[in-house]
Amino acid sequence: MPLPTAHGQTADATLSTVLPDPPLRVIWEDDALLQLESRDRYTRAAIREDFKAAGFEFASNRTRSIEIDKTAQDFITPVAKDRYVVVWRHLPDNTAMVRGVVPLTHIPSAQELEDETQLSRFRDYVLNAVKQFR
């Protein structure tokens, strides 16, 4: 249907909507839920809210998430004012399988993690922290 323009002419009505990329669908493993529930309600809310926001960032490739294993697609995402990290695996159907929520006080910079040795040490540190808190 033609629509009037500012100059009295007509234009075809073609509507297009730009939708954001879908956020990650999140599935929590039982141990991760237990780790989350062991925190006070304010910390739980901060962790969930920050991780939800990170899902939108990840879907649009603007993320603070750090890939700790490229093969398995394992990531950590700092949350709750960088006092905790959510450890998760990115599944092919745009799902985040949360494996753990652990306190982590030092998160290396992206430049520090470019070194394969540093990345390997950090990966081991995170995975040991997840095991320790299970």
CATH of the domain at 63: 3.30.2310.20
pLDDT in tens, 21-49: 556 788 999 999 999 999 999 999 999 99
**pLDDT number for residue 104:** 79
10 belongs to a structural domain: no
pLDDT: which is higher, 18 or 64: 64
Contact (CB, 8 A) for 87 and 122:
no
Residue 11 lies in a domain: no
Residue 100 belongs to a domain: yes
Task: Report how many domains make up the chain.
Answer: 1
Q: What is the pLDDT of residue 65?
A: 82
Looking at the domain assignment, is residue 2 inside a domain? no
In a domain, 97, yes or no: yes
Q: What is the pLDDT of residue 63?
A: 67
Are the C-beta atoms of 74 and 89 separated by less than 8 Å?
yes
- The parent domain of residue 110 ranges over 21-132
Residue 4 counted as domain residue: no
Q: Do 97 and 73 meet the contact criterion of CB atoms below 8 Å apart? A: no
Per-residue model confidence as pLDDT tens digits over 49-92: 988 888 766 655 656 788 888 888 888 888 888 888 899 998 98
Q: How confident is the model at residue 97 (pLDDT cuts 50, 70, 90)?
A: very high
Residue 127 in domain = yes
Q: Which residues of 84-111 are buried (b: 16+ CB within 10 A; e: fewer)?
A: bbbbbbbeeeeebbbbbbbebeebeeee
The C-alpha atoms of residue 88 and residue 39 are separated, in whole angstroms, by 18
